[in-house]
Chain A
Amino acid sequence: MSEKHVGRPLLRKEDPRLLRGDGRYLDDLGRHALAAAFVRSPVAHARITDIDVGDALDVEGLVAIYTHEDLPGRIAEPLPLLIPHPDLTHARTPYCLADGEVNHVGEAVVMVVATDRYLAEDAAERIQVTYQELPPVVGIDQARAAERLVHDEIPGNVAARSVQENGKGDAHEAIAAAPHRLTLDLAIERSASMPMEGKGVLAHWDADDRTLRVHTSTQTSTSVRLAVAAKLGLPPDRVEVIAPDVGGGFGVKIVHPWPEEILVPWAAMTLGRDVKWVEDRREHFISSAHERGQQQRIEVGFDGSGRLHGLSVEIWHDNGAYVPYGIIVPIVTSTQLLGPYKVGAYRVEFTSLYTNTVIVTPYRGAGRPQGVFAMERTMDAIAEHLGLDRLAVREANLIRPEEMPYDQGLVFQDGRPLIYDSGDYPTMMRMIRDLVGWDGFEAERAAAAAEGRRIGIGVAAYVEGTGMGPYEGAHVKVETTGEIVVSTGITTQGQGHYTTLAQIAADALGVGVGDVTVVTGDTRRFKYAVGTFASRAIVTSGNAVAVAAGKVAEKAKRIAAAALGGGVRAEELELADGVVRHRDDPARSIELRTVAVLSNPLRYAFDEAAKAATQFAAAVTAGDEPGLEATGYYMPERSTFAAGAHGVVVETDPETADIKILRYCVVHDCGVVVNPRIVEGQVHGGVAQGIGGALYERIVYDDAGQLVNASYMDFLIPFATEVPHIQTAHMVTASGVNPLGLKGAGEAGVIPTSAAVASAIEDAERDRAVVVRRMPISPSELYELRKGRVHV
């Protein structure tokens, strides 16, 4: 057999094209399209009393102005609630264009179409909207107090309230009966996905063919297609949706349909012209989606060795003005909070609250960073309370490998039971202990102290449910040239799918990775898919590619056996080095591309290859299908659980309170690794975002509901200079759920970073008894904490 590709650190096939600038992002397309711009609400909460477009009408190049009144049929109705849930009792979703009321700064009110974006903005600027302002609800405190309401008819600003218990007894009783008890109040602030490329939509209506083609910078083209078809009243077969190269998603682009994904195609149909909208950075800040903002109250009961007897967590989750994506984020926090630990009796209750701010939907990590922060801060508090080593407390509570699969007794975000399929957490913790230098740290601390420097160490661990259903599929085809084309419905935003999926297909078909071309996110090529989110692509699509490629291999053997003749049976054949050959007698072989030729009997010989396949030569038998191709699907019965632990050493300046990361270590288990280089890249990118969340990134609203740092000048994303070198160690506990043994890796890096950094800062500051209860933290805030002033 030729050498396997899965498991090798191959270079990314997509990089040369992207690095040379040959990528085709949304704004590279549709050069002659009309441009759309939007008038967006400048106020957080108001009734619209008048819209006067008079001044805009003489802007040269203006093509159309639309308000809610102009929208027909289902386009005038609220956008869909994508993920309903029984506990989501008071769901509100936005309109494409505001219907008489706005609920956050940035909500779209008027759509303007002009011959270019400059002119569209000129016209938009001249449109006068009169707002009768209402008092806004900003922040979780105000939402909880409920003295003002976001939506008049929704009491207490509560969208959802949900309780889960793990069936291991009454948590409050267990806590009350435990030898020790602690209560912690924690908070994580708002952040956002912030992909380099914002959203964007280009629509082309072919009036002759009655076909709509939509390019959109999305994480799910198949679902956008169905949503657009439904809203516009078109048969799905008349709608094509393509995700071109996408410059990052991180969750915000799984939300759909965005108002613009409906309005731009509708305008293209109405005007009979191509229309394009490209989101600018300010629009992205004020009208896309945010995440993270939560308050948490934790009560924990434990014994003298730090073992948990009971854990009760209450979460207040800021869901923004609407909930089109349901309550996935707080569900994930509630369930994934448990991490690699057994916590005794567990009760979690969350309240998901409306505020007059941008909607909240999953951002890489999707509620897990908050959950891990809660759990790991609790572990540190227990260690502090008992005077025990922080790692020892964690180790005392770990699920053991022999307890796998381990049922946490909860229902996960996919509606399936939260059962960890595999994992070796004690080994993982031993590895991070060694990698970060936990045992030698006191000597290091003393050496630093001798120089007047203060350093601290922290560790945090997580478990991440990945690879959830319902399914993904793939189509694999061997061309008569020998090229293999793999089409999947999932989209790609730079994760390296063109390489990893090619590795899987190449192994199944005995060809090189260079022979495989992967197509993603184009509904013309593959219609059935869910999307790229929740660390699921490699698990679901990877296994689907293996299924489809496996079917192709079987067919190739069948046809090759017939072609080789001489009594060769298909079972005796194997695929390797681009040929189908006899396992014991490799000389008896036939090229795979010839098999492809033979598999499609032709009547007309239009080229040399076709000549070989005319009906007098071909080898496809009656009952078979033409073409060396197959479609395969993978439907996981439930999620598969990856895990990891991060260790970090920080230095805090005794005078300036500046915070510097000296060392960052990651132990990472995502089951069988398809491509270690790509996994490491994913982990590094995640850690960079995690450091952003720990030390820099924070969406700031003022009391009036204005987003005051809606630019990269004041919303601080770490530069390369702020991201330390990251040491990564892999371990492999194969998934017990899917045939390839894969677990997801996309979100991993970001999950425990805030928890680990908080722990390290607290450790560095232990002489000053600083307690970190809220992230992110800036030098200014650390300074205020040292002074014993409230952590604002």
Chain B
Amino acid sequence: MKPPPVVYHGPDTLEEAVRLMAEHGAEAKVLAGGQSLVPLLNMRLTAPARLVDVNRLDDLAYVHSDRHGVRVGALARHADLEHATHAFETIPLLRQAVRTVAHPTIRNRGTTVGSLVHADPCGEMPAVLALLDGEVVLRSERDGERTVPARDFFVGPMESACREDEIAVEAFFPRPAGRTGSDWRELSRRNGDYALCGVGTLVRVDDAGAVSAAKAAYIAMGPVPQVVDLTAAAADGDWSAAADHAAEQLDPEDDIHASAEYRRQLARVLTARSLRAAYEAVAP
């Protein structure tokens, strides 16, 4: 469990990092928190010739909030997002979800943007970005900056739209409009494990308390985060009917921890519970 030889680059500026990726992108990988990449290296499951360590790019270690939403820089750790009160006040879902990512020690190092690029179908933050219709800002020498919406960003399991010569510099999580409640819940085998099924929900209500919009996003239920619109299904507040509807859209797989059938059942149960909680958070 020792990594193969690798050339290490530790750029001090984003420009330098971008240049390095332009030069070596095909055989280089960005090293952020290392919580996913380093185990892969140690197990020799990946063997890039070069690492471009972005940990010195302190300018990217930010979490900014305004009335439009929350901007998370590439070097902001999961823990930074979790503890940013302004981010929680702007979009409660961010903290609701990020605190279920792994354990505190891993959140202290792992970056939120890194987990988006990593695009693990079991990762919480990709689903949150998808649920909020967020976007990722990418930078390369060739194209400068481009912004990719969540729906185009998650291409497949462990595969994002971030090209090999690009660095993801920021994620933008837009604030849901109107009176919208949110909830995140999941079931994992052990505390802090990747979830067997996880669901995030947004429920918007009008002044009378009627549901005007509802949707859910799922992890571990498909190759990429699965977003299901439940506005029609949840319109009359029948959470279990909405949950049944959602579960039908999902196509989970068996693995050693859970059967596909069981995962679908979890989706059903967690969706109903989650919709209710999201609704109750904002119901008059």
A interface, CB within 8 angstroms of B = 117-118, 121-122, 125, 280-282, 655-658, 696, 698, 700, 708-709, 711, 713-714, 716, 718-719, 721-722, 778-780, 783-784, 787
Q: Which of A122, A282, A722 interacts with B190 by CB under 8 Å?
A: A722
For this complex, 10 residue pairs linking A to B, each with C-beta atoms less than 8 Å apart, are: A121-B4, A122-B4, A656-B270, A716-B189, A716-B190, A718-B190, A719-B192, A721-B190, A778-B189, A784-B261
* B7 lies within 8 A of chain A by Cβ: no
Q: Which of A117, A125, A716 interacts with B4 by CB under 8 Å?
A: A125
In the bound assembly, the distance between CA atoms of A716 and B193 in angstroms comes to 9
Count of chain A to chain B residue pairs whose CB atoms are closer than 8 Å in the complex? 67
Closest to B269 in A: A655
In the bound assembly, the distance between CA atoms of A718 and B262 in angstroms comes to 22
Interface residues of B in 176-203 (CB under 8 A from A): 187, 189-194, 196
Q: Known contacts A696-B190, A780-B196; is A282 also within 8 Å of B262 by CB?
A: no
Q: Which secondary structure dominates chain A's binding surface?
A: loop
**Closest beta carbon of chain B to A783's beta carbon, Å:** 5
Beyond A117-B2, A718-B190, A722-B191, list 12 extra A-B contacts (CB 8 Å): A118-B5, A125-B4, A656-B270, A658-B187, A696-B190, A700-B256, A708-B256, A719-B190, A719-B191, A780-B262, A783-B262, A787-B261
In the bound assembly, the distance between CA atoms of A713 and B196 in angstroms comes to 13
**Closest beta carbon of chain B to A693's beta carbon, Å:** 14
Q: Which chain A residues border B241 with CB–CB below 8 Å?
A: none
**Closest beta carbon of chain B to A294's beta carbon, Å:** 20
In the bound assembly, the distance between CA atoms of A47 and B159 in angstroms comes to 38
In the bound assembly, the distance between CA atoms of A656 and B273 in angstroms comes to 11
Closest to A59 in B: B5
Closest to A35 in B: B2
In the bound assembly, the distance between CA atoms of A125 and B269 in angstroms comes to 47
**Closest beta carbon of chain B to A691's beta carbon, Å:** 11
Check if B256 sits within 8 Å of A714, measured CB to CB. yes
In the bound assembly, the distance between CA atoms of A282 and B40 in angstroms comes to 13
Closest to A698 in B: B256
Q: Which chain A residues border B259 with CB–CB below 8 Å?
A: 780, 783-784
Check if A656 sits within 8 Å of B266, measured CB to CB. yes
Check if B256 sits within 8 Å of A709, measured CB to CB. yes
**Closest beta carbon of chain A to B122's beta carbon, Å:** 11
In the bound assembly, the distance between CA atoms of A346 and B82 in angstroms comes to 61
Q: Known contacts A122-B4, A125-B4; is A778 also within 8 Å of B190 by CB?
A: no
Closest to A60 in B: B5
Check if B1 sits within 8 Å of A280, measured CB to CB. yes
Check if A121 sits within 8 Å of B2, measured CB to CB. yes
Q: Which chain B residues border A696 with CB–CB below 8 Å?
A: 189-190
Q: Which chain A residues border B187 with CB–CB below 8 Å?
A: 656, 658, 779
Q: Which chain A residues border B266 with CB–CB below 8 Å?
A: 656
In the bound assembly, the distance between CA atoms of A656 and B189 in angstroms comes to 12
Closest to A722 in B: B190
* B26 lies within 8 A of chain A by Cβ: no
Most buried by A among B2, B194, B266: B2
Check if B191 sits within 8 Å of A721, measured CB to CB. yes
Q: Known contacts A716-B189, A716-B190, A721-B190; is A779 also within 8 Å of B262 by CB?
A: yes
In the bound assembly, the distance between CA atoms of A779 and B193 in angstroms comes to 15
In the bound assembly, the distance between CA atoms of A658 and B257 in angstroms comes to 13
In the bound assembly, the distance between CA atoms of A718 and B189 in angstroms comes to 9
Q: Which chain B residues border A780 with CB–CB below 8 Å?
A: 196, 257-259, 262
In the bound assembly, the distance between CA atoms of A716 and B1 in angstroms comes to 20
Q: Known contacts A716-B189, A719-B192, A784-B262; is A282 also within 8 Å of B1 by CB?
A: yes
In the bound assembly, the distance between CA atoms of A698 and B269 in angstroms comes to 26
Q: Which chain A residues border B190 with CB–CB below 8 Å?
A: 696, 716, 718-719, 721-722
In the bound assembly, the distance between CA atoms of A7 and B265 in angstroms comes to 53
In the bound assembly, the distance between CA atoms of A282 and B187 in angstroms comes to 27
Q: Known contacts A721-B191, A778-B258, A780-B258; is A118 also within 8 Å of B2 by CB?
A: yes
Interface residues of B in 249-280 (CB under 8 A from A): 256-259, 261-262, 265-266, 269-270
**Closest beta carbon of chain B to A464's beta carbon, Å:** 28
**Closest beta carbon of chain B to A709's beta carbon, Å:** 6
**Closest beta carbon of chain B to A782's beta carbon, Å:** 9
9 smallest beta-carbon distances between A and B, as pairs: A721-B191, A780-B258, A280-B1, A780-B262, A655-B269, A118-B2, A783-B262, A700-B256, A121-B2
* B68 lies within 8 A of chain A by Cβ: no
In the bound assembly, the distance between CA atoms of A779 and B269 in angstroms comes to 14
**Closest beta carbon of chain A to B146's beta carbon, Å:** 34
Q: Which chain B residues border A125 with CB–CB below 8 Å?
A: 4, 44
In the bound assembly, the distance between CA atoms of A10 and B96 in angstroms comes to 44
Closest to B256 in A: A700
* B49 lies within 8 A of chain A by Cβ: no
* B281 lies within 8 A of chain A by Cβ: no
In the bound assembly, the distance between CA atoms of A356 and B44 in angstroms comes to 25
Q: Known contacts A656-B266, A719-B190, A719-B192; is A122 also within 8 Å of B5 by CB?
A: yes
**Closest beta carbon of chain A to B237's beta carbon, Å:** 19
Q: Which chain A residues border B191 with CB–CB below 8 Å?
A: 719, 721-722
In the bound assembly, the distance between CA atoms of A709 and B256 in angstroms comes to 8
In the bound assembly, the distance between CA atoms of A721 and B189 in angstroms comes to 11
In the bound assembly, the distance between CA atoms of A780 and B196 in angstroms comes to 10
Most buried by B among A117, A656, A657, A722: A656
**Closest beta carbon of chain B to A251's beta carbon, Å:** 23
Check if A778 sits within 8 Å of B1, measured CB to CB. no
* B43 lies within 8 A of chain A by Cβ: yes
Closest to A708 in B: B256
In the bound assembly, the distance between CA atoms of A281 and B42 in angstroms comes to 11
Closest to A653 in B: B269
Closest to B1 in A: A280
Q: Which chain B residues border A783 with CB–CB below 8 Å?
A: 259, 261-262, 265
Interface residues of B in 39-62 (CB under 8 A from A): 43-44
In the bound assembly, the distance between CA atoms of A121 and B44 in angstroms comes to 10
In the bound assembly, the distance between CA atoms of A713 and B122 in angstroms comes to 13
Interface residues of B in 193-242 (CB under 8 A from A): 193-194, 196
Closest to B262 in A: A780
**Closest beta carbon of chain A to B40's beta carbon, Å:** 12
Closest to B260 in A: A780
In the bound assembly, the distance between CA atoms of A125 and B196 in angstroms comes to 34
**Closest beta carbon of chain B to A667's beta carbon, Å:** 28
Closest to A280 in B: B1
In the bound assembly, the distance between CA atoms of A122 and B44 in angstroms comes to 10
Per-residue CB contact flags for chain B residues 21-53 toward chain A (1 = under 8 Å, else 0) read: 000000000000000000000011000000000
Q: Which chain B residues border A718 with CB–CB below 8 Å?
A: 190
In the bound assembly, the distance between CA atoms of A549 and B34 in angstroms comes to 55
Q: Which of B4, B5, B192, B257 interacts with A778 by CB under 8 Å?
A: B257
Closest to A783 in B: B262
In the bound assembly, the distance between CA atoms of A293 and B261 in angstroms comes to 27
In the bound assembly, the distance between CA atoms of A118 and B194 in angstroms comes to 30
Q: Which chain B residues border A716 with CB–CB below 8 Å?
A: 189-190, 193
Q: Which chain A residues border B44 with CB–CB below 8 Å?
A: 121, 125
In the bound assembly, the distance between CA atoms of A121 and B41 in angstroms comes to 13
In the bound assembly, the distance between CA atoms of A716 and B192 in angstroms comes to 12
**Closest beta carbon of chain B to A360's beta carbon, Å:** 20
Most buried by A among B44, B192, B266, B270: B266
**Closest beta carbon of chain B to A659's beta carbon, Å:** 10
In the bound assembly, the distance between CA atoms of A714 and B190 in angstroms comes to 11
Closest to A654 in B: B269
Closest to B265 in A: A783
Q: Which chain A residues border B256 with CB–CB below 8 Å?
A: 698, 700, 708-709, 714
Q: Which chain B residues border A709 with CB–CB below 8 Å?
A: 256
Q: Which chain A residues border B257 with CB–CB below 8 Å?
A: 714, 778, 780
